[in-house]
Amino acid sequence: MVNPSVSVILPVYNSAKYLERCILSVLKQTYKNIELIIINDGSTDNSESIAKKYAKHDTRVKYVYQENRGPAYARNQGISIASGEFIQFIDSDDYLEEGSVQALMEYSEGVELVIAGYYNIYNSNEDNIKKSVLPTNIGILTKKELLESFGELLKKKLFHYTWHKLYKKDILKSVKFNEKLKIGEDLLLNLDYINFVNKAYIIRVPVYNHIRFNYTSITKSYHKNLFLTRKLIHERLVSFLKNNDIYYGKNKDEIEELFVDKIVSSISNLNKKSSPLSFREKLVEIDSIMDDTSVREILWRFNKRRVTTKIYGYLLGKKMRLILQYYSITLSKINNFR
Q: Which of 59-63, 156-160, 196-200, 275-279 has the lowest mean pLDDT?
A: 275-279
Judge if 119 and 15 occupy the same domain: yes
Judge if 320 and 246 occupy the same domain: yes
pLDDT of residue 321: 47
Judge if 293 and 173 occupy the same domain: no
Reduced to 3 states (helix: H, G, I; strand: E, B; else coil), residue 215 is coil
pLDDT of residue 311: 55
Distance CA 209, CA 162 (A): 13
pLDDT band at 302 (very low <50, low <70, confident <90, very high): low
Residue 1 in any domain: the answer is: no
Judge if 248 and 139 occupy the same domain: no
Distance CA 38, CA 54 (A): 10
Residue 220 in any domain: the answer is: no
Distance CA 180, CA 72 (A): 8
Please, is 153 exposed, middle or buried when counting C-beta atoms within 10 Å of its C-beta (0-12, 13-18, 19+)? Answer: buried
pLDDT of residue 129: 83
The model's pLDDT over 305-334, given as tens digits with 9 standing for 90+, comes to: 455 555 545 444 443 444 455 555 555 554
Q: Which pTM value belongs to this model?
A: 0.86
pLDDT band at 1 (very low <50, low <70, confident <90, very high): very low
| CB count in 10 Å sphere of residue 159 | 22
pLDDT of residue 128: 75
Q: Of 159, 180, 211, which closes a domain?
A: 211
The model's pLDDT over 80-137, given as tens digits with 9 standing for 90+, comes to: 999 999 999 999 999 999 999 999 999 999 999 999 999 999 875 556 788 999 998 8
Nearest to 264 by CA among 336, 318, 185: 318
Asked if residue 224 has pLDDT above 70, the reply is yes
Domain that holds residue 68: 6-211
Rounded to an integer, the average pLDDT of 298-307 is 61
Distance CA 26, CA 32 (A): 10
Residue type, 72: A
Secondary structure in 3-state letters for 138-183 = CEEEEHHHHHHCHHHHHHCCCCCCCCCEEEEHHHHCCCCCCCCCCC
DSSP-derived secondary structure letter, 2: P
Distance CA 334, CA 9 (A): 46
Judge if 189 and 231 occupy the same domain: no
Judge if 197 and 157 occupy the same domain: yes
Judge if 59 and 119 occupy the same domain: yes
Asked if residue 64 has pLDDT above 60, the reply is yes
Domains held by the chain: number: 2
Judge if 195 and 64 occupy the same domain: yes
Judge if 171 and 264 occupy the same domain: no
pLDDT band at 219 (very low <50, low <70, confident <90, very high): low
Q: Which of 54-63, 77-86, 100-109, 281-290 has the lowest mean pLDDT?
A: 281-290
Asked if residues 61 and 145 have their Cβ atoms less than 8 Å apart, the reply is: no
Judge if 283 and 153 occupy the same domain: no
Residue 303 in any domain: the answer is: yes
The model's pLDDT over 2-13, given as tens digits with 9 standing for 90+, comes to: 688 999 999 999
Angle separating helix axes 249-270 and 226-243, nearest 10 degrees: 170
Residue 221 in any domain: the answer is: no
Residue 219 in any domain: the answer is: no
Pairing mode, strands 95-96 and 165-168: unpaired
Q: Of 211, 239, 260, which closes a domain?
A: 211
pLDDT of residue 214: 47
Asked if residues 63 and 38 have their Cβ atoms less than 8 Å apart, the reply is: yes
Asked if residue 243 has pLDDT above 80, the reply is yes
Judge if 102 and 236 occupy the same domain: no
The model's pLDDT over 156-205, given as tens digits with 9 standing for 90+, comes to: 999 999 999 999 999 999 999 999 988 899 999 999 999 999 999 999 99
